[in-house]
Amino acid sequence: AQSVSQHNHHVILSEAASLELGCNYSYGGTVNLFWYVQYPGQHLQLLLKYFSGDPLVKGIKGFEAEFIKSKFSFNLRKPSVQWSDTAEYFCAVTSSGAGSYQLTFGKGTKLSVIP
Amino acid sequence: ETGVTQTPRHLVMGMTNKKSLKCEQHLGHNAMYWYKQSAKKPLELMFVYSLEERVENNSVPSRFSPECPNSSHLFLHLHTLQPEDSALYLCASSQETGEKLFFGSGTQLSVL
């Protein structure tokens, strides 16, 4: 069975600091990887995704993530955070291929950005 | 607004009550999902429907009963729940299974 580990439960940063949120998964086959974000009082929404190709994926709002297959990792990064990035971030993985639906989420990392 | 609407937003029920959660998507998607979000636990997939047929049931207790009458609507019928079932229940949809999910705002359920 696949699983996702997000090592940081809560990260607190000042504005303009750089961000890196860790995500590791366990699954032996080919995967699709996602980062979802939940802003306070809002629904979960997709931040970025990796299916294939360039392992460095760029998403909305200046976020990017790098898929490192050898490390089973898909860390989320942003060079300079803003107060509006305060949210909870969820990494998720599913096996690739037709009919795949078992999207497994990590526990989430809460990011608090201090003005 | 994601195009996925859930009602009610909040629900308080006793352990002997019967209630239903409703989800509606206006995106023309073929797959719909129920997820459970509890504090300090990962999102848990409960049920998946693809083209109105259930394709996944992750060992969910029978006190949760899903229904998908058509590709736009999904229900979760609840009866004789336990206090530990208190959680945020999220509905999601996707064009096909395995693709980007669009989530609703959830129903915050409290079981007394």
- pLDDT the model gives residue B92: 94
- pLDDT the model gives residue B108: 95
**Residue B7 β-bridge partners:** B22
* Residue A99, pLDDT above cutoff 80: no
For CA atoms B44, B47, B49, B54, the dihedral sign is positive
- pLDDT the model gives residue B54: 85
Question: Average pLDDT in the A68-74 region?
Answer: 94
A1 touches chain B (CB under 8 A): no
Question: A98, exposed or middle or buried, with CB in 10 Å at 0-12, 13-18, 19+?
Answer: exposed
Per-residue pLDDT reduced to its tens digit, B36-72: 999 878 888 899 998 888 887 778 999 999 999 999 9
User: Which candidate in B50, B57, B68, B101 is best for mutational testing of the A interface (most A CBs within 10 A)?
Assistant: B101
User: Which candidate in B1, B41, B45, B99 is best for mutational testing of the A interface (most A CBs within 10 A)?
Assistant: B99
- pLDDT the model gives residue B91: 96
DSSP string, chain A: --EEE---SEEEEETT--EEE--EEE-SS-EEEEEEEE-TTS--EEEEEE-SS-SEEE-GGG-EEEEEGGGTEEEEEESS--GGG-EEEEEEEEE-STT----EE---EEEEEE-
A43 touches chain B (CB under 8 A): yes
Q: How far is A33 from chain B (nearest CA, A)?
A: 10
* Residue A96, pLDDT above cutoff 80: no
- Give the dihedral of Cα atoms B34, B39, B42, B45; nearest 10 deg: -10
pLDDT confidence tier of residue A29, bands split at 50, 70 and 90: confident
CA angle B38, A49, A95 (to 5 degrees): 75
